[in-house]
């Protein structure tokens, strides 16, 4: 099967000639010969680059120069290139960036493997002025929710020409985020979107460029916010888009249909603990904060309590939750999964939220943001951002790789946006903890709830695998924040049979589709680090004492 013809589209506006020549060389060095290069000169004031392109085009008929009479900026110039393109696929390359020699060949191989693909994007890194490559961005597999939070697909993007024309190309008025807007519109109609897990593009990071700092173009983030809002409106998703923690990141405030009942299922023993200097019955604060920090009215709180739960705790829960409370007594031996299942079966809501009894909701409209994404039919499960009591991250999604189940980004600070915005935007993940998770009732039933074969550990891991097995996405919600007062030095002992149970069903964890291990590291528990340091100190001083004694 022959490779498709690629049309590389590059709007050109007065780049330094030596920089442009490097870009030129990187395109000419392509291993794959089946390409054409449509260069659109956007009325550059200096004729130097234009003349140089003319010279090159005279010797290589794959190079075509389109000359604009007036400066139309990036949108019009790119659209001229799209219009002139003759290839089956468009590859967008900026006039100062670099392609790897195998870029088009690798894309062609992926197209041959999946002929219905309409949009491909690769990993990328940055190139300094001196050519030093750094900051490789290992991207997740196709993540539509994350694309709303940031333009993560970026370079190198290859799109089917017919689809780009079908959606009307780039839109005027979105300058600076015109590529984000196009990616959103193309991905809505694409039959398949493919992530090519390989760096094929070096993005030039020079002062003033978006690669170095998107904050350099504030109009771009305003356009980006509008592009994402447009998508929500097109798809009928209830919510509004706000600017995120850093430029180029967007936060979605979801709205819930007032007629949708949400059942919050909380298994508890009614135990107390010292939290922030006061002794509190944990479940009481869980229920209080959960109800206080939502505007959604149709909420039911199903508390599944073990028989020894003190009656005064149940009484206080009645005072806090009133007629929203449903108490279910559980008189069997401890089984977290079974308690959740029993709670879900007593619940009457169409949406189920599972909450541990040792959490405290921090963020306003947490329930709307957590449950809202479930309105999209291919979203099966959502999870929250959980913090230890010192505000370091306890949970930001699961990652399953290298034979283990991980909590990526654990112990980072609350303000840390993550290496590439991972902690600042909603994103698809392999799994989430059941300490705070939401699911549609019909999905819960279809996958058989939580496996009661795992009473303590890994029941949520198995649950997440089941969600993926049914072809559904799991979305981690960055703006649904809670404290989780799970002891940071908790004994995480896991029985071998528990791990074997999950592995027997789902295989050995190998490569995570959404979180590269390198990004999530180091995940260092400060308490354990301190333990090690203390241990080493005592060993060192012991050795010193040991050396001294013969001298004594």
Which residues are near another protein by CB under 8 A? 338, 341-342, 345-346, 445-453, 465-466, 469, 504-507
How buried is 216 (Cβ within 10 angstroms: 0-12 exposed, 13-18 middle, 19+ buried)?
A: middle
Write the DSSP symbol of residue 471: T
- The two three-digit tokens of residue 91, written as one number: 């590859």
The kind and range of the H/E element at 80 are helix 73-84
Closest distance of CB 469 from another protein, Å = 6
For residue 128, the SS3 value is: coil
Pairwise CA distance, residues 203 & 220, whole Å: 18
- The two three-digit tokens of residue 242, written as one number: 């706000």
Closest distance of CB 179 from another protein, Å = 36
Looking at the Cβ atoms of 212 and 328, the one nearer to another protein is: 328
Closest distance of CB 465 from another protein, Å = 7
Closest distance of CB 409 from another protein, Å = 28
Q: Let me know how long the chain is.
A: 552
E strands present in 307-458: 325-330, 351-355, 359-361, 379-387, 393-395, 399-401, 404-406, 427-429, 436-440
Closest distance of CB 423 from another protein, Å = 31
Looking at the Cβ atoms of 240 and 346, the one nearer to another protein is: 346
Looking at the Cβ atoms of 109 and 544, the one nearer to another protein is: 109
Looking at the Cβ atoms of 215 and 448, the one nearer to another protein is: 448
Closest distance of CB 341 from another protein, Å = 6
Looking at the Cβ atoms of 346 and 407, the one nearer to another protein is: 346
Looking at the Cβ atoms of 36 and 512, the one nearer to another protein is: 512
Looking at the Cβ atoms of 229 and 457, the one nearer to another protein is: 457
Sign of CA dihedral 149, 155, 161, 165: positive
Looking at the Cβ atoms of 6 and 465, the one nearer to another protein is: 465
Closest distance of CB 444 from another protein, Å = 9
Q: Helical H runs in 178-281? A: 178-189, 218-235
Looking at the Cβ atoms of 341 and 369, the one nearer to another protein is: 341
Closest distance of CB 437 from another protein, Å = 16
Closest distance of CB 499 from another protein, Å = 15
For residue 140, the SS3 value is: coil
Looking at the Cβ atoms of 446 and 519, the one nearer to another protein is: 446
Looking at the Cβ atoms of 257 and 452, the one nearer to another protein is: 452
Pairwise CA distance, residues 199 & 124, whole Å: 5
Which is nearest to 330 in space by CA: 452, 434, 460, 485? 452
Helix pair angle (48-59, 17-28), 10° resolution: 20
Which is nearest to 352 in space by CA: 464, 236, 434? 434
Is 231:187 a contact under the CB 8 Å cutoff?
no
Pairwise CA distance, residues 460 & 466, whole Å: 10
Looking at the Cβ atoms of 190 and 340, the one nearer to another protein is: 340
Closest distance of CB 520 from another protein, Å = 25
Pairwise CA distance, residues 230 & 8, whole Å: 28
Closest distance of CB 337 from another protein, Å = 9
Closest distance of CB 343 from another protein, Å = 11
Neighbours of 254 (CB within 10 A): 23
Closest distance of CB 249 from another protein, Å = 36
Who contacts 148 (Cβ-Cβ below 8 Å, separation ≥6)? 184, 228, 231, 232, 241, 250, 252, 425, 426
For residue 535, the SS3 value is: helix
Looking at the Cβ atoms of 366 and 501, the one nearer to another protein is: 501
Sign of CA dihedral 76, 122, 3, 144: negative
Is 384:395 a contact under the CB 8 Å cutoff?
yes
Is 336:342 a contact under the CB 8 Å cutoff?
no
> What DSSP string runs through 146-201?
HHHHS--S-SSEEEEHHHHHHTTSSPTT-TTSHHHHHHHHHHHH-S-EEEEEEEEE
């Amino acid at each position: 099967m022959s490779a498709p013809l690629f049309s590389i589209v590059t709007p050109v506006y007065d780049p330094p000639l030596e920089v442009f020549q490097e870009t030129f060389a990187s395109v000419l060095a392509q291993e794959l010969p089946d390409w054409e290069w449509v260069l659109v000169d956007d009325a550059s004031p200096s004729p130097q680059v234009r003349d140089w392109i003319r010279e090159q085009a005279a010797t290589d008929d794959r190079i075509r120069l389109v000359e604009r009479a007036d400066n139309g900026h990036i949108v019009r110039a790119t659209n001229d290139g799209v219009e002139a393109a003759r290839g089956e696929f468009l590859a967008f390359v900026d006039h100062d960036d670099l392609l790897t020699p195998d870029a088009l060949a690798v894309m062609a191989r992926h197209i041959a493997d999946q002929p219905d693909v309409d949009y491909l994007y690769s990993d990328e890194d940055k190139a300094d002025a001196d050519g030093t490559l750094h900051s490789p961005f290992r991207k997740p597999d196709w993540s539509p929710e994350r694309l709303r939070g940031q333009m993560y697909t970026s370079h190198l993007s290859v799109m089917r020409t017919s689809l780009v024309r079908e959606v009307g190309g780039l839109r005027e008025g979105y300058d600076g985020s015109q590529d984000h807007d196009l990616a959103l519109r193309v991905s809505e109609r694409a039959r398949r979107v493919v992530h090519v897990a390989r760096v094929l593009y070096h993005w030039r990071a020079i002062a003033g460029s978006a690669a170095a700092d998107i904050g350099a173009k504030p109009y771009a983030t305003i356009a980006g916010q509008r592009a994402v809002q447009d998508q929500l409106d097109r798809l009928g998703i209830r919510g509004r888009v706000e600017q995120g923690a850093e430029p180029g990141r967007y936060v979605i405030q979801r709205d819930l249909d007032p007629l949708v009942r949400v059942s919050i299922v909380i298994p508890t023993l009614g135990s107390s603990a010292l939290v922030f200097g006061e002794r509190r019955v944990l479940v009481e604060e869980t229920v209080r904060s959960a109800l206080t920090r939502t505007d959604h009215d149709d909420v039911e709180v199903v508390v599944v309590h073990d028989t020894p739960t003190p009656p005064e705790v149940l009484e206080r829960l009645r005072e806090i939750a009133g007629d929203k409370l449903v108490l279910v007594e559980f008189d069997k031996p401890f089984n977290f999964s079974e308690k959740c299942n029993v709670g879900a079966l007593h619940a009457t809501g169409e949406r189920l939220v599972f909450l541990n009894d040792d959490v405290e909701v921090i963020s306003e409209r947490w329930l709307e943001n957590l449950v809202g994404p479930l309105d999209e039919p291919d979203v099966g499960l959502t999870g929250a951002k959980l913090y230890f009591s010192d505000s370091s991250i306890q949970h930001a999604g699961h990652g399953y790789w290298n034979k283990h189940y991980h909590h990526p980004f654990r112990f980072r600070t609350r303000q840390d946006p993550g290496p590439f915005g991972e902690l600042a935007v909603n994103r698809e993940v392999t799994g989430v903890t059941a300490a705070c998770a939401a699911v549609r009732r019909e999905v819960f039933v279809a996958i058989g709830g939580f496996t009661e074969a795992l009473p303590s550990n890994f029941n949520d891991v198995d649950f997440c695998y089941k969600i993926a097995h049914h072809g559904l996405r799991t979305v981690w919600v960055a703006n649904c924040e809670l404290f989780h007062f799970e002891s940071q030095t908790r004994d995480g002992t896991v029985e071998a049979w528990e791990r074997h149970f999950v592995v027997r069903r789902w295989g050995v964890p190998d490569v995570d589709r959404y979180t590269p291990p390198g990004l999530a590291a180091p995940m260092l528990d400060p308490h354990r680090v301190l333990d090690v340091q203390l241990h080493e100190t005592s060993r060192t001083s012991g050795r010193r004492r040991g050396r001294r004694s013969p001298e004594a």
